[in-house]
Structure 1
Amino acid sequence: MTFPRLIAALTMTLAAAGSQAYDFKSVGAAPVILYDAPSTKGAKLFVVPRGAPLEVVVAYGEWLKVRDVNGELAWTEAKGLSAKRTLIVKTPNLKVRATPDDAANAAFTADKGVLLELVESVASGWIKVRHRDGLTGFVKSSEIWGI
């Protein structure tokens, strides 16, 4: 392969990797263990509680390399995750709005670290969410993690 072709091939490979869409999943009914390698023989790093969102970075057979809300990378078994989408509040005393508007009344307030269920994405960076108590409202995508 000639040098210009090699450069072109590498450029296209990097462009494709950079445009890869990441997937989010949530921990299923039971907490999952995060390992330092894709094996139960790897060192156990963390236990993630049920419902917590994880960003899937790489799939390797029945194992997934995931990123947590703190940015830590680790491996977990795919069978422990669910397609249900949850989000984590990033800011203290987040006002969850009744409508997707900064001036809207607060439907409820959620503290930092609270899990919310993703209901739907709305235009202009707003996300419709549901609290486990059944309350619904809208938050900006910059105020939550898991989207």
Structure 2
Amino acid sequence: MAAATVARPFSRGFIALSLSLAALAGAHAQTMVSISGSTVNMREAPTLDSAVLWELQRGYPLEVTGRRGSWLAVKDFEGDTGWVARSMTGKAPHHIVKGPTLNLRSAPSTSSAVVAQMARGELLKTLEKRRDWVRVERASGETGWVSRRLVWGF
């Protein structure tokens, strides 16, 4: 007679710990949005009467750091903070050039041809992500690959 194998269920403690860790990771996950209006004001406080700090263009990526009513507290790639109307944001992924210059390459490799060079703060539409590389599109329509560590966004 063959011995029966019994599947051992996970302990309740293990399941509880796993769920707690998953919730903790979700709480610290970076929430990103991008500007969906043609231009949007980043304000000092979550009201239309507050001072305008910056005018942001369509696609500009922002990290959400808080929420208050119909407003989002946000931070940009330079660490500047402010508030934007939630209705003026979306989830279309974009990146911003972080360094002084960045090479736009024909393929996701440092040995591939340089198609163009871009300056700090240039806004790039995200087309595809592959490991440590992002395929992007410039405002001019030019496309290529950039190293993920040299851009900020999602």
Q: TM-score interval w.r.t. the shorter chain? A: 0.7 to 0.9
Q: 1:34 to 1:140 in 2, by over 3 A?
A: same
1:121 aligns with 2:129: yes
TM-score (norm 1): 0.77
1:81 & 1:136 partners in 2: Cα distance? 24
Which residue pairs with 1:144 in the alignment? Answer: 151
Q: Corresponding residue for 1:57?
A: 65
**Equivalent residue in structure 2 for 1:89, among 58, 81, 97:** 97
Q: What's the secondary structure of 1:16's corresponding residue?
A: helix
1:46 aligns with 2:62: no
Alpha-carbon offset, residue 137 of structure 1? 1.3
SS at match of 2:24: helix
Q: State the one-letter code of the partner of 1:86.
A: H
In structure 2, give the amino acid aligned to 1:74. Answer: G
1:74 aligns with 2:82: yes
Unaligned runs of 5+ in 2: 1-19
Q: Distance in 2 between matches of 1:94 and 1:86?
A: 16
Correspondence for 1:104 = 112
CA-to-aligned-CA distance 1:76-119 (integer Å, 9 cap, x gap): 11111232222111223311111111111112221222111101
The C-alpha deviation readout for 1:126-147, integer Å capped at 9, x for no partner, is 1111112222211111111113
Query: Are 2:37 and 2:57, in contact at CA under 8 Å, matched by a contact in 1?
Result: no
Read off the aligned partner of 2:65 and give its amino acid letter: V
TM-score for both structures, normalised by structure 2: 0.74
Task: Measure, in 1, the Cα distance between the counterparts of 2:144 and 2:127.
Answer: 9
Identity of aligned residues (%): 31
1:10-50, CA deviations, whole angstroms, 9 ceiling, x for partnerless residues? Answer: xx69x827852222222223321222322223343332233
d(CA) in 2 for partners of 1:116 and 1:45? 22
* Distance (Å, rounded) in 1 between the aligned partners of 2:141 and 2:58: 18
**Conserved? CA contact 1:30–1:80, under 8 Å:** no
- C-alpha RMSD of matched pairs (Å): 2.3
Q: Mark the runs of 5 or more structure 1 residues left unpaired by the alignment.
A: 1-11
